[in-house]
Amino acid sequence: MSALRRSMAMVLSESGRSIGVLVRCGYAVRPLILHWPAESATAVLVDAAGAVINPQTVTLMRWPVGAESALRRGGYQIAPYPDPAEPWCNCAD
């Protein structure tokens, strides 16, 4: 099974328009669903109960590659995972 097929296997709805995404809320990691509401072309993240999650309250950890542009259009920030091999310092020298 290809990587793309594995990532698209996360499809959760009957319509094929909802995709699973992992996010961090504070210290908790939660699975959410990227959903396209019928009345809107903009995708939103929702929890299992269907409540819409505000883009500013979560940090995206894992998402299917094909969903990245929809997440950006929905206002969710895509930050690359920091490379541990790359040195970084926030000090004033």
| Domain locations in the chain as residue ranges | 3-73
26-56 as b/e, with b when 16 or more CB fall inside 10 Å?
eeeebebbbbbeeeeeebbbbeeeeeebeee
**pLDDT tens digits, one per residue of 66-77:** 888 888 888 887
Percent of the chain with pLDDT over 70: 62
Under 8 Å between Cβ of 54 and 19? no
Amino acid at the residue 90: N
Model pLDDT, residue 84: 61
Q: H/E element holding 15?
A: none
Exposed/middle/buried for residue 90 (C-beta within 10 Å: 0-12, 13-18, 19+): exposed
Mean pLDDT of the chain: 71
**pLDDT tens digits, one per residue of 46-62:** 988 889 998 888 888 88
Q: What is the mean pLDDT of residues 37-49?
A: 81
Annotate 34-56 with DSSP letters as a single string: EE--TT-SS-EEE-TT-PEEPGG
pTM of the predicted protein model: 0.61
